[in-house]
Structure 1
Amino acid sequence: MSASDSAHGRLDETLSSEAHTFTVASAQFRLDPQHVFAQYPADGASGDFGTVLPHIALSAPTLPWERDPGGAGNEQIPWLALLVVRPEEDLRADPSTGAWISARPVTDLTSGSHSQDQVALPALSTSDADEGGSCQTADVRRGAVSALLASREELPYLAHVRRVRDDAEPKEHPDHAVPWQVGHYSVLLSNRIPHVRGSYTALLVSLAGHGGNDYLGGSNVTSALVAVRFVVLASWSFTTTETGGTFGDVAAGVARNSRATPMLRYVPAKQAGSSEDAQAVGTRLANGYVPLTHRLHGGEETVCWYRGPLTPVAADSPLPAGSAAGPASWLSADSALIYLTQYGVFDISYSAAFCLGSALALANPQLSAALARFRAQGIRTAQQASAGIQASPEDRVRTLLKELKPEKITSMLKELQNNGAAKAEATPPVPDAATTDEQVKQALTRLADKHRPLVRAAGLDVLSLLEQVPFHYLVPEPAMLEPEQLRYFHVDAHWLDALVAGAAGSGVGTPGELALVRRLLTPQASPKGGILLRSKLLARWPDATTQVIPGSAKALREFRLGPDVLLALYDGLPSGLVVQEPPHRMHFGLDGTLDDDEGGRIDLRNSDGTPVSTPFTNVKDCLRSATDHGSGQVLDFSKLVAALGSALAADVSPATVALQLMNLPLKVTFGKKTS
């Protein structure tokens, strides 16, 4: 390039001209990390990637085509490829460092030699080393190159450009932690499905200088060499920990297993019979009860009925026959027992709840202390009120303001102002028994109103207590909720009341203290229904989101009772549940595993994105032949493209391949049938 200029002024001089030569070239030995916009699976991720084709997205849309790999043919193929390797099997460690990926001077790759120490080198010229410095390289075993590297004919289908429009990303389900910006991105796919458990490393390698070698259709024979050296522009690692179906496959299994018995109840394998007693037992089981062994105070063992707070039918209101007046009047767990006189057995449901509530409160130091403070202050307040002594000046002013009319207060204030001082207060009359009792009630009511928010914050909250209830209290029979099942339930408000009453009564020693703590037991907003889900959906996709079918109920709280168990509570009985796959980054892959009956499935789409009615199955027929490297995991894209063309009855381009393999977050709806 040459440039010249002149300046006109007082000197009227012409500036000297000067020529410079420069070259416009894309990155070859190093890639700016800022160009890497997204990669899937993420670096360090662990999970089920048995249907995934790993990919990398670059913010430079033309980068994969800015260089030529070289070799025969005039077709435009990308000079970048994404290799997914298992280092111990597919890479040759650096003899000097033992590292799988090592730094080398760029000049080591431009010596003009085709190989070094039985390792094939890229055919790069001296001018290619102008950047200087070092680069990252990996020596891939020669057998792994044949097994894993796409052929010259396949490479164009493994790279495409993604265009992002203003309306391309749904706002509620972005596919990247940092939303895609409007513009263009280049995307490179791997041809290896990491189906086998283990650790994998994804390598973005340069093919520049490799086009003349036999593994890319060139004439330079490398089959006798040990390895091939590639420049590595980016790399990351991930682990496949479990393979057992896609999100949709697992969700379909949950739907199948939950269809026969949607409500939470125990259904024995063998029915009891047709007698009156057998029918009574069947009714109990249908209502959510299970028979348990009950040890009496004398040591004898008998049979009892138990039902937790989660029931298949709405709980009786008022309390069932044989029960005491209610949780507020229960002095102990025994007073909450329900005796079924017809059969001579106990229903221990509310007794167990009362006892559990007491144990949970004693295990909570903050709640125990808050209740103890309330009881101590309540006793002092009752003593002071019964003696006619107000607890504090503030209480006295508050009482006077309640008793006096506004005009009387104004008159008294004027009188005080005119006299300049308050008149001596007359000695109050000695209250009678009725007046004293009313004063005590009012004082204790005010005290309870003051302490109620404090003790609830400390743990006397129905949802907080319910979250601590052991699983076997909620689901007393394992067969009520087996793996890969969804169950709906009502919530027994009496059971929750007994739980709270037991917690409030922990540490109570006298009937007077019990009467005092009852003042804390005002109605709380309790759930009316909910859902229990036990499935690998939760363990394998821990970030999956759940919500009820819109309009059916309002969510109150969700608890994870274990890695694979979800308890969701609502203000009513939901009509269904929607489970959404995590809003992860967009990824590519199959829609069914290679091991299923369909042999790997791809749900086809038309060019406008609408689904094709018939999916493409038996993807396993498009795998490369088994080798020591990537056995049964590497897709032959030449076969895949031909098969997709036949299935779609259309020409297949790289964009078509990307459209068919693209996977977005899946949403599954479970509907409840009437039981």
Structure 2
Amino acid sequence: MTTHPTEQSAPADDTPVAFYDHLLPGIEAGRYRITVEQQLPAEQLPGARLDPVEQIVDVRAAQFRLDPAWVHAVYPAAHSQGPFNGLLPHITLNPTALPWERESFTAGVQNPGRAPWLALLLFGEGELPGDPNALGTTASVTIRALLDGDAAVSGPVLDRDAVDPTLLDTPCQVVDVPGELLAQLLPQPSDLAFLAHVRTGGEDAAPVEGQDSRPGQDAHAVITTARFPGAGRGRYVAHLVSLEGHTPPGPQADGKPVRLVSLHSWTFTSCPQSGDGFGRLAGRFTPGNGEHSAAPLCPAPAAGLTEELGTLMEQGMVPMTHITESGERALAWYSGPFLPRVAPELPRPADGHFPDADGLLLHEPHTGTFATGYACAWNVGRALALADPGFSTTLVRLRHQGRLRRATDRQYATYRRQLFLSAPSAGPAPRMAARAAALTPREQFEELLRGDALDALAPTLGIPEDDEPRPRTVRAAPAAYRLDAPKRSSAPPQASPDAREAAAWLAKLRTLSGVPFDCLVPDQRMLPPESLRLFHVDRGWLDALLDGARSLDRHPGADATTDAELDDLLDGQGPVPAAGLLLRSALVPGWPTLRVEARTASGTTPVEVIRREALGADVLLMLFEKMPDRLTISEPHQGLHFGVDDQGNVALRSLAPGEVGRPLGRSVPVGADPALTVTTPAGARVLDIGRLAARLAEDVKPGSPLSPAEFAVQLVRAPEQLTLTFEGTTR
């Protein structure tokens, strides 16, 4: 079945999300025997019955190793630290049908209720003998050794003939789990189906209500563990293990540990008092948190500065050492492309482009020093252009082609002018001038060679003279060049491939791609840890950057046409960045697909994002087409996690058609009910999945059991989000 939550339970971007019970493959992995029999109706005919034909077919799928690219996301994030004691860790996989491509408990046990062959197990410190510190340590054994078995452990019972022989000597990762611990952590076979489902929607087109469609390209298989992290501080390791070939967990008479194949693992630390959870990290950007609050990007003025110097720093100017051309050290002010204010328009030269950096050294009248920001931008652009041999070669070739066209046009004009001036006075001069203008230089030269002109040049060209003079032949001009012929098209020529390639490179540079971070943020105190900074983009700085890149082999007079062509192409390369934000926070590595939405004051019109890129381990840069009035920071889709609220309750949601996911305003106490949450002798809190599903069904679906998708809807905890506005913040 398919469950479609409404917007009340959708992710932070109000995109509908659909839950599916499972996505069953057309055929499961394994070995199959195909028998073909053929018999004609008339059995008495000779040869009417043919012998049966048998064929063994192996259907193979992932079994002992998992491609890392198949892991879409994990929650909590790997190596993260936060208050996770009320959440059920889970993993999302890109191959949507992967959890159902094999049978679970295939050692003589029938798969009940379409249970997945994969399970997510959570272990704390001191629980795994081979990994006492919960660091994700696993043992490596060959697949051959795994299939042969080990007398000291209870391993999977699998058909060796169904395994690809080329894989027998390749390694796989295993963990040895004490049998008693496994029996406490792993649900009953009939309850395993509730821990896996398919989720789709949000990133691409979502399913339409009422249509029986399979999950689309944005679908992910989700596997959840049944264990909560502890209430105290502790490190945990999550293992995605294979149940294929095992028997259901129970009391082990021999006391041997169970060897499980670990397909993927990650570690995290649960700390209720930690400030590294999403809500606490994002909450630091609200007003009143000092340097952590969302603020304009500018250096903090130091104490004791004069009013003029403080004003300059508030405008984004940073005092720095400036080395002049003579080698002297002096004080100068630097400003990058990111400013806390709208920069005034930079005056342009007559031809529209700065030929060098010296012309961009501006005098600062209050301090009597230079402002070097624009000059630095010009030099950076030139350095980046020189460092890219592809672009520099393309630009130089484009300029040479432009100069050749310009020289050819000038030569053509000279020919036309000389032909007009050399025309005889007799005859209609306007008509001859028009005819001369209609002929190409080659045709004009051929006209000169006709008649007496050819005889005069004969001795010089070495042509033998005839005894009798030749009659002068008058030829008519070709139809394409007659005075009454149609005129040539005046449509502008299409841009050359070199021009388009150069314009695309310059457009990418205009988004500050490749510009050193020190040029963007000259002082690290402007962007302290756990801070969010908004800024305006200085259009003059971008123009100076592009002028430096376009300065290679540039001659202002000869390259005016090429510059105009590049300007026209750049105008068609999309909007110019006008504003942006810099986020330096643990949110960047902890939530790689963090969702940041910029909108106008009304909150309905999104602001176009021109560039989004992580600069380093913990810095995120976003450039917008204009300054937004509202910013919404929310957890990504894998943040749609599962668990209980702060009071240990499951908030019930409607399953009625058209209202799926709507909160019902009542809840089921899970943490306080020992029948629903079992505490193991080791202190682990594990959900009794079967009893919890039956208890939830009594409230939201009386008389009918819950499906895996409906069970997932009840355990959903929507992603957290933070909305920032210029007037304040709202949660």
TM-score interval, normalised by the smaller of the two chains: 0.5 to 0.7
2:194 paired with 1:160: yes
Q: 1:35 to 1:346 in 2, by over 3 A?
A: closer
Q: Do the aligned partners of residues 406 and 201 (structure 1) sit closer, same or farther apart at CA in structure 2, a change above 3 Å counting?
A: farther
Change (3 A) 1:206 1:293: closer
SS state at 2:295 partner: coil
Pair 1:470 & 2:516 matched: yes
TM-aligned CA deviation for residue 48 of structure 1:
1.3
Moved more, 288-297 or 140-149: 140-149
Contact 1:353 1:502 in 2 (8 A): yes
For these two proteins, the number of residue pairs brought into alignment is 561
Match of 2:310 in 1: 282
Is residue 308 from structure 1 mapped to residue 336 from structure 2 by the alignment? yes
**Contact 1:82–1:203 at 8 Å: present in 2 too?**
yes
After superposition, the Cα gap between the structure-2 partners of 1:494 and 1:660, relative to the gap in structure 1 and judged at 3 Å, is same
1:43 and 1:236 in contact (8 A); partners too: no
The alpha carbon displacement at 1:339 in A equals 1.4
**Taking structure 1 as the reference length, what is the TM-score of the superposition?**
0.60
CA contact (8 A) 1:61 1:161 kept: no
1:535 and 2:585 are equivalent in the alignment: yes
- Cα distance per residue 1:399-425 (max 9 Å; x no partner): 99xxx99999799989xxxxxx95779
Change (3 A) 1:649 1:398: farther
Cα offset for 1:253?
A: 4.1
> Any conservation in 1 of the 2:613–2:620 contact (CA below 8 Å)?
yes
Q: How does 1:514-663 map to 2 (within 5 A)?
A: 514-516=556-558, 521-522=563-564, 523=567, 524-525=570-571, 526-544=576-594, 546-549=596-599, 551-578=605-632, 581-583=635-637, 589-590=642-643, 605-607=653-655, 608-611=660-663, 624=679, 627=682, 634-637=685-688, 641=692, 658-662=712-716
1:168-567 correspondence to structure 2 within 5 Å? 169=201, 172=204, 180=215, 189-192=224-227, 200-205=238-243, 214=251, 222=253, 225-227=254-256, 229=258, 236-240=263-267, 245=276, 247=278, 250-254=281-285, 260-268=293-301, 272=304, 277-278=306-307, 280-317=308-345, 319=347, 328=352, 330-373=354-397, 390=409, 453=499, 456-457=502-503, 459-461=505-507, 463-464=509-510, 466-506=512-552, 513-516=555-558, 521-522=563-564, 523=567, 524-525=570-571, 526-544=576-594, 546-549=596-599, 551-567=605-621
Q: Provide the C-alpha distance between the structure 2 equivalents of 1:527 and 1:189, rounded to a whole number of angstroms.
A: 42
| Aligned mate of 2:181, from 135, 144, 154 | 144
Residue in 2 aligned with 1:20?
none
Distance in 2 of aligned mates of 1:287 and 1:65? 67
Amino acid at match of 1:180: P
User: Secondary structure of 1:369's partner?
Assistant: helix
- Match of 2:380, SS? helix
Q: Is the partner of 1:317 in helix, strand or coil?
A: coil
State the secondary structure of the residue aligned to 2:605.
coil
Q: Any residues of structure 2 matched to 1:11-160 within 5 Å, and which?
A: 33=61, 48=77, 51=87, 52-53=89-90, 82=119, 84=121, 90=128, 103=146, 140-145=177-182, 147-150=184-187, 158-160=192-194
Instruction: Report the secondary structure of 1:548's partner residue.
Output: strand
- Cα distance in 2 between the residues matched to 1:624 and 1:40: 33
Q: What is the RMSD computed on CA atoms of the aligned residues?
A: 6.4
AA partner of residue 570 (structure 1): F
Matched-pair contact (CA < 8 Å) for 2:588–2:618? yes
Rounded Cα–Cα distance in structure 1 between residues aligned with 2:511 and 2:320: 24
Describe the SS at the equivalent of 2:319. Answer: strand
Q: For residues 133 and 90 of structure 1, do their structure 2 counterparts lie closer, same or farther at Cα, with a shift above 3 Å needed?
A: farther
Asked if 1:673 corresponds to 2:719, the answer is: no
Check whether the contact 2:399–2:553 (CA below 8 A) recurs between aligned residues.
Answer: no
530 and 479 in structure 1: CA distance in 2 versus 1, 3 angstrom threshold: same
CA shift for structure 1 position 316: 0.9
**How far does residue 101 in structure 1 lie from its aligned partner after superposition?**
9.7
Q: Give CA deviations for 1:261-301 in whole Å, capped at 9, x if unaligned.
A: 43222234x5557xxx42x2232222222222223345443
SS in 2 for 1:358: helix
What's the counterpart of residue 436 of structure 1? none
* Structure 2: unaligned runs, 5 residues or longer: 1-39, 45-57, 81-86, 132-139, 164-171, 208-212, 420-428, 440-445, 454-491
Q: Distance in 1 between matches of 2:115 and 2:405?
A: 85
Tell me the secondary structure at the aligned position of residue 558 of structure 1. Answer: strand
1:301-336 per-position Cα deviation (integer Å, ceiling 9, x unaligned):
3332221111121111355xxxx8589464532321
User: What secondary structure does 1:314 align onto?
Assistant: coil
Compute the displacement of 1:345 (Å): 1.8
- Rounded to whole Å, the distance in 2 between the matches of 1:462 and 1:139 is 52
Distance in 1, Cα, partners of 2:415 & 2:495: 17
**Is the 8 Å Cα contact of residues 85 and 200 (structure 1) preserved in structure 2?**
yes
Q: Deviations over 1:461-482 (max 9, x none)?
A: 4735721211111111222223
Report the counterpart of residue 18 of structure 1 in structure 2. none
Contact 2:583 2:620 survives alignment (8 Å): yes
Change (3 A) 1:672 1:480: farther
1:39–1:600 Cα change, 3 Å: farther
Inter-partner Cα distance in structure 2 for 1:186 and 1:374: 51
Indicate conservation of the 8 Å contact 1:59/1:186, yes or no: yes
Instruction: Report Cα offsets for 1:172-206 as digits up to 9, x if no partner.
Output: 3669xx96289xx9987432458976865333437
The residue matched to 2:529 in structure 1 has which SS? coil
CA distance in 2, matches of 1:654, 1:247: 30
Equivalents in 2 of 1:78, 1:500: separation in Å?
59
Q: Distance in 1 between matches of 2:416 and 2:447?
A: 15
Task: State the Cα deviation string for residues 429-479 of structure 1 (Å, max 9, x = none).
Answer: xxxxxxxxxxxxxxxxx9998798267348444735721211111111222
Which SS does the other structure have where 1:266 is aligned? coil
User: Whole-Å Cα distance in 2 between the matches of residues 236 and 261 of structure 1?
Assistant: 41
The one-letter amino acid of 2:266's match is: T
Moved more, 541-550 or 373-382: 373-382
SS at match of 2:194: strand
Q: Secondary structure at the match of 1:567?
A: strand
Write the distance in 2 (CA, Å) between the matches of 1:538 and 1:671. Answer: 18
Task: Report the residue type matching 1:226 in the other structure.
Answer: G
Is 2:296–2:535's contact at 8 Å kept on the other side of the alignment? yes
The letter for the 2-side match of 1:291 is: P
User: Is residue 279–residue 721 contact of structure 2 (8 Å, CA) maintained in 1?
Assistant: yes
Distance change >3 Å, CA 159–CA 515, structure 1 → 2? same
